[in-house]
Structure formats: C-alpha cells, structure tokens
A and B are shown apart, each in its own frame.
Chain A
Amino acid sequence: MTAIPRRDLLRGAALLGLASPLAACGSGGEPVGSKEAGPQGPVIAWMHHEEANDKYFNAKIAEYQRQFPKVTIKPLYVPIANLDTKLSTAFTTGSPPDLIKVGAWTLAERASKGQVAPLPPAEFGAGSLDELKSRFDTNAFAALTYKDQVYGVPIDFNSVHLWYRRDRFEQAGLDPDKPPATWEEVEELGRKLTTGSQVGLQWQLADNIWAMLNFLPLINGLGGRIVDETSGRGGLNTPEGIQALEYYGRQGNPRLSDPVGAFGLFAKGTSAMLVSGRFTSSLIPALNPKAKLGETFDSAVVPSWAGKEKVASGYSWGWLVAKKAKNPYTAWHFVNWLSSSANVDQQLSATGLVTPTAGWQKLPSARDKASQQLEEQLPYTDFGPVLPQWTETIKALLDALESVIHKQRPAKDAAAAFDAAVARILK
C-alpha cells in the first residue's frame, strides 16, 4: 500500500494560480480563557435549530455573559438535517467551532479522526474523571465514551418509552391504565387496535437514529446485538436477529404518511402506540392541541419480551469541544455553568431536554411520569453500536428494516444482506 502525498498531488493538480490572499485570513489576537485568566474571549458554539432550544440558549448565553462579561458566546443554530455535513466540512477546513452540541452517535467518527478533545476533569474543578462522573447520573457518559476515553458532557439524554393513546385503548375496550408490558402483548393489543386505516404500534420509519432506537430493544431484549463492535460482525442473521426483524415487520403500516412521520400519526390517533423519548409528552400536544398528556395519551416503560430481561434503547446528545478549538477553557466553563442544577431544572421545563446530573430526577421540573420512567430505565439502557462508520452501518440497518416492513424481502434475506453490508463497511 502506497500513500501518495495528497497535498502535492491535489494542490498541484487543481490549484495552479488559485491561491488567494484572502485564504490566509486568520482571526488571531482575541483573548482566550485559562485557569489563571478565567473565562474570557469569544466562543463559537454550534447546535441544531429548534425553536424552544434556540430561545432558551439565547437567554442563557445572555445571562452567562452578564456574569462573565469578558466572554462572548456566538451561537449558530444549524438546521438538523445539515448539522453533520456542515460540521464535517468545518472540521475538514481546519476551522471548526469551539463548542458543538451533537448526537453522541456521531462521536466515534469525530473521535477516531482526532477532531474532538477528551473531556478534561480539571477544567470542571474535578480531581479525576471519576469525580466528575460522580456528579452525573448512572450511565450518563456511556454514549459519550469511545475506546475508553470520555469526550463530552451529556445533554438531551433520553431513553425510549412506550407511548400509547388512552382514548384508542378505551374505544377498543382495553384498560387504559394497563399498557402492554411485553412485546407479545403489544402485538396482541395491536391486532385489537387495528381497524380500517388505524393501526396499533407504528414504528418511526425512514430515519436512521429512530429506526435503530425502535429496533434495538427488540433484538437486544432477545439477547442479540445489531453489531458486535469487537468482531466487526453484523448480528441480524442470527435466530434473535431474524425473530426481531420478523416482529418488526408485522407491526404497523409503513405506507401511512404524515409530515411529521410517526409522531404525527400518533398525535392524530391514527396509531395507538409509539416508541419514543421523553420529549414526546410536549411534542404531541404541540402537534395536536386536543391531545392531552394523562387524558388522551400516556407513557409506560419500554416493553420487554415475556420472560426475558428488560432492555431499553437510548440516545444522548453531547457538548463536545473541538481539538482545534481556539478557546477550549471558556467553552468547557460555559458547559459546566449550564450543568448547574438551577440551569438543568430551567432547561428541562423550557425545552424538555434532560441533562442527567446526579439527582436531576428530583428537580421540580422532573416530577412528570416520563422523567421518572427515564430514571427507572437508565440502568438497562443501551445506546447502540459505537462505530466510526455509524451513519453507514445504521443506513444498512434502515435498509434491512424497511425492506422487511415493506415486504420486499423475507427477514432472513434482509438479515443476511445487512450482515454482508456490515462486513464490507467495517472491513
């Protein structure tokens, strides 16, 4: 294997005469924070755009800047569909933002490329990583760890729950206070809840992360795994994988459509069950003001297979700092400040985002049922495969799930195709 220096070849090839004085522009000269000088200078922070979040963070930034007048936080709210591509571009060009809020599933790719900095306990005033970890809840850093190295601080921490429509249960003669506890019951109730265009459980389709979050409790609950990270093998073409795929393919109707996908179908009552996170409690009334938590719909812990151990799937977002950040001290300082319990409480009530600091579930805004269920599920929550090739791997999973639910291939073929794809991707 020879490596031809890319710089010479491509630069020489495509850039004769294109160099520009503008290219050399640097920012330079701005003060940056340090332990001695304290937080100061500009911090460029990127996160995805979401109205409630934007509003909350803008307010918090103003508040932080009042407390630390030498700091300017410059937020950029990127539409979620473009966030990862934009970040990749920014990292490639060598001018990434200081602070980013990203899905933890993208961490492995960024960490394997050396784009993000390890979490420095000292900047949080902690003597060791363990001390810093002890300020957070069980499992809080699981999704933000790659090859035994912790990289970020969790925010928007979620596990999936079973959401169900009380009204649809009542109409079908079912007890709305007895949501199904096993996947077998989900299917049985699903049959009773299916009438005309209405269905029982509707998966969240056509979306990488949600497809994984919906499928993981099925396969892991049977004792299987989507991918074994150490051997690099796909785990769908196994008895557990195929059983999970077949089950997946039997629920709901993939041809139902809604601008907001499964969330919208659940909000309208077209589907009676939905596997989703804590934020669903505020999302559903936002989509349909007639739907009321506790009256029209409710949440339960994620089901398990009869006689098997409980497995929930979860996801986290994280605050990460770029390795090439110009102002890392101040960036971490701001993150630490955001994680104070007063802010964690305000954030939860304003945006529904959980920062899982130790004892968060006792905060005033965490009294709701879903928060308590999230806390209950934490010890058995799995965050899915940690792989630098996550996006491509999960796209292959999505292909397998969709081809089964759209009845294009039997589960066995889809499983074999997925495992072959994983072998190719992780080679």
Chain B
Amino acid sequence: MTRVMTRSMTGSEARAGAGLAAPAIVYFVLFWALPALAALYLSFTSYDLSGTPEWVGLENYRQMWANDEFWASVRVTLLYTVFAVGPTIVIALVVAVPLAKPGRLRAWLRGLVFIPAVMPLVGATVLWQVIYSTGGLADTLAGAHPWLTDSGYAIWALLVMVIWKYVGLYVIIFVAGLQALSANVFEAAAIDGARALRTFFLVTVPLLRRTFTFVIVVAVTGAMQSFVPAYLLTKGGPVNATQVLPLYLYNNAFSYSRFGYASAIAIVLLVALLVFAFTQFKLIRSDEE
C-alpha cells in the first residue's frame, strides 16, 4: 500500500527524516531505553538512594521468588487484569451493537456513555471513595456492605469502578469498528432475534477480529499498569487484597527505599508487558505487508 517505500532512499529524504525523528529518538533513548537498562542493572543491586548501588547478583529475584507478598500481588494483578478486561469487553460489545446503528438519539447516547472514560481518573476515584463509604451510594443501592474494608469485597469494588470508568472507551471503539463493517451485516442482523444472534457470532465477531485484538491489547496493558485506583481507593488493602504489582513496586521503592528490589519487580513487569508488546508489534507491523 505504501508506494513511498518502493522508491530508493534519497539524501534529502534521509536528512529530513532523521531531522524530524531526532527529538523523538533522543527522548525514547533517554527516557525509555536507557532507564530500562538502568532498571535492569539496579535489579541486581541493593540500593537505598543514599549510598551507591551494591551488587548483589540475583538476590533480589531470589527474595521475590520466596516472598508471599509478591505472589499475592501477582495473583491480585492477574485477577484484576482478567476481570477488568473480560467483563468490560463483553459489556462494551453488547452495548455497542445496538448503539452503532444510526439515529440522533443513539448519537447522543454514544456521547454520554463516553463521559466516564474521559473523566480524569484521580477525580473519578475520589468520587468512588465517597460512593463506597458507609451510607454512600453503594450502600443505598445495594445494601450496606464493607465495600472497601473487607478483603473479599475490596477487589470487586475496585473492579466495578474500573469497569465503569473504561467501558465507554471500548464501546466507542467497537462502535467505530462496527460502523466500518458493511451495512448488510446489520440489515441481516436486524431481521429476527434468533438469526441476529447467529449472525452476530458467525459474521460480526469474526469481522471485528482486528478491533478485538486492539481492544484486548490496550485493555490488558492498561490494566497491568493500573496504579491510581488501588493507591487512592484502598491503599492496596485490606490485607494486601488490592495490592497490584505497580503499587507493590511503588511501596518498595518510595516507602521502603528498596530501589534494587523494586527494580527487580519492574523488570518482571517489563517482561510480562513485553509479551503483549510483541502481540502489538506483530499487529502493527502487519500494516506494512
């Protein structure tokens, strides 16, 4: 598709390209590539920021392996990721199918459903803190429960907020994906209930494959990076029930001054995220074929 690529590289093009890309190259090298290497180095050291990093080999990783709190945090992160992504995508798709149809009312609804997604997360979390407080909206609607003070409830309370926050974003992405499909699919889907469901699973879903992949990658990496909701709403508690990996990393670095150990957590997180980066990489590179 890109005819540009078939021409040979000219001197002026190379100069212009390098010039335009230079600030970004400098930025990504200084603020991503080198820090990632430095984090790798620090993960083999013991370092409290006041002295010099002391080489300890694999000690941090050994400690991590043997530490229940780390594994608890991994479990919380996995649970959080699965349930922040799965239900959000299902709800978003179910809502997006009817919402993608034309009409003024639906256009309005699309705009409204998007609002939570563009709210700043910190402001939203502050709001949910009140919603989950004793006598708050959650108590009023669903009966009094220890939403944030019981280790069984807290993670789900957190997830409800996160799903609320992001479902609108995926609705909009699915709507755009659906609207890009040929109108026939919708006409067919509108004929009758039973056929509609069949059409949905046999035609619409496969056609949306690309959108799905995109949404899943965005949602999974987003969930695995999530820090603010757990930090503000529950501080990781009770009994570490909501201590996701980024929060565990933050606590070790900035509360306990264990920068070496925290860097080792960062590296583990990095490896996990690279798996998803690889998926994304293949996805994006396929554009150029």
Contacts and interface: CB of A to CB of B under 8 A. Distances in A.
26 contacts: A1-B55, A1-B56, A3-B53, A4-B53, A9-B38, A13-B37, A13-B38, A14-B30, A14-B31, A16-B30, A17-B26, A85-B254, A88-B257, A254-B238, A255-B146, A255-B149, A256-B146, A257-B147, A259-B133, A259-B134, A392-B255, A392-B256, A395-B251, A399-B69, A399-B240, A424-B66
A408 B151 contact: yes
Interface stretch (B44-52, B185-193, B273-281): B44-52
A399 B121 CA distance: 28
B58 interface: no
B50 to A, nearest CB: 4
B63 interface: yes
B148 interface: yes
Contacts of A9: 38, 41
Nearest to A402: B239
Interface string A366-393: 0000000000000000000000010110
Contacts of B48: 113
Contacts of A88: 49, 254, 257
A10 interface: yes
Contact of A3 (B55, B134, B257): B55
A17 B30 CA distance: 9
Contacts of A205: 149, 238
A2 interface: yes
A292 B225 CA distance: 48
B235 A206 contact: yes
A44 interface: no
Given A4-B55, A9-B38, A257 B237 contact: no
A9 B256 CA distance: 23
A353 to B, nearest CB: 26
A261 B149 CA distance: 10
Contacts of B251: 395
B98 interface: no
Interface in A78-106: 84-85, 88, 91-92
Contacts of A7: 52
Given A3-B53, A259-B133, A408 B67 contact: no
Interface residues of B, number: 41
Contact of A417 (B68, B149, B255): B68
Nearest to B63: A424
Nearest to B29: A16
Given A16-B30, A113-B48, A255 B53 contact: no
A424 B239 contact: no
Given A391-B256, A406-B150, A5 B52 contact: yes
A6 B54 CA distance: 9
A389 B46 CA distance: 14
Interface in A234-268: 254-259
A402 to B, nearest CB: 4
A330 B26 CA distance: 46
B34 interface: yes
B247 to A, nearest CB: 12
Contacts of A6: 47, 52-53
B168 to A, nearest CB: 29
A137 interface: no
Contacts of A2: 55
A403 interface: yes
Contacts of B147: 257
Interface in B225-245: 235, 237-240
A205 B240 CA distance: 13
Interface in A2-34: 2-7, 9-10, 13-18
Contact of B238 (A109, A406, A421): A406
Given A3-B55, A206-B238, A255-B149, A13 B34 contact: yes
B50 A92 contact: yes
Interface string B47-86: 1111011111000000100111100000000000000000
A206 B258 CA distance: 22
